[in-house]
Amino acid sequence: FSSVVLARDANKGDVEVAIKIIRSNETMYRAGTKEAGILNTLCRDDDDPNSRYIVRLISSFDHLGHLCLVFEPMAMNLRQVLKKFGAGIGISITAVRSYAKQILLALRHMHKHRFIHAD
């Protein structure tokens, strides 16, 4: 449905960003536009400390019919975390608790704004 690439924004001092490139078809384009709108709503509520658990959408643009969503980059994805910290044994229960807490706080923030995460 999409691919994510790391890039540098030359217009903003070479800052690193993550770009989600959405497949070029009408259905996926509409879904991506809806995702951008939801993220803008969720991140607008800076008074709520739980908004920090929602990834920041920086901007979006169209490239050859592909909707591209520009995000703040994350330090590592789950696959990288498992490889670095849990090779062959899994990650510690302390880390699992921390990740679970962050996910639940993000879901609480979404619920406050009447959104449901469907993954």
Considering the candidates 14, 46, 47, 119, report the single residue annotated as catalytic. Answer: 119
47 annotated active-site: no
HEC profile for the chain? CEEEEEEEEHHHCCEEEEEEEECCCHHHHHHHHHHHHHHHHHHHCCCCHHHHHCCCEEEEEEECCEEEEEECCCCCCHHHHHHHHCCCCCCCHHHHHHHHHHHHHHHHHHHHCCCCCCC
β 66-71/2-9 pair status: unpaired
Residues catalogued as catalytic: 119
